[in-house]
């Protein structure tokens, strides 16, 4: 099993969510986060332009079986990408074990 963590633009979240559902990834967690990066968002208030280093993003945490790793990553890249600085990052790590609390099942079957 793999844990895929993605930090994406908030404006791309709906498209990423729909695309993940289309390929069969139906469960994941997400949070609104603020981070620092290479992109500097500009704001205009009453005709005065200013920038801030705090950038609003959405953080996704997805656990998939090994055979879903590649399609999940490709789907996120395709749906979240704009070609601009600040599109986000994806991190992949191994998951040793998973348990379903209700039935005490363990392993990859708990993800279905």
Which CATH number fits the domain that encloses residue 92? 3.30.70.120
Question: Is a pLDDT exceeding 60 seen at residue 50?
Answer: no
Tell which residue, 17, 15, 84, 18, has the closest CA to residue 55: 84
Name the DSSP letter for residue 11. Answer: G
Per-residue confidence band for 2, with pLDDT thresholds at 50, 70 and 90:
very high
Q: Helix (H, G, I), strand (E, B), or coil: what is residue 79?
A: helix
pLDDT given at position 58:
97
- C-alpha–C-alpha distance, residues 80 and 69, integer Å: 17
Question: Is a pLDDT exceeding 70 seen at residue 41?
Answer: no
What is the tens place of the pLDDT at every residue in 19-37?
A: 999 999 989 999 999 877 6
Contacts of 52 (CB under 8 A, 6+ apart): 40, 41, 43
Number of compact structural domains in the chain:
1
Domain membership of residue 99 as a residue range: 2-111
The residue with tokens 């895929």 is 4
């Amino acid at each position: 099993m793999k844990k895929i963590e993605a930090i994406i633009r908030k404006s791309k979240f709906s498209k990423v969510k729909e695309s993940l559902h289309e390929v069969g990834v139906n469960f994941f967690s997400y949070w609104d986060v603020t981070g620092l990066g290479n992109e500097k968002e500009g704001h205009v208030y009453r005709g005065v332009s200013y920038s801030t280093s705090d950038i609003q993003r959405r953080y996704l945490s997805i656990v998939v079986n090994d055979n879903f790793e590649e399609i999940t990553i490709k789907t996120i890249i395709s749906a979240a990408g704009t070609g601009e600085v600040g599109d986000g990052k994806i991190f992949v790590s191994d998951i040793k074990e998973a348990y379903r609390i209700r039935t005490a099942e363990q392993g990859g079957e708990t993800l279905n």
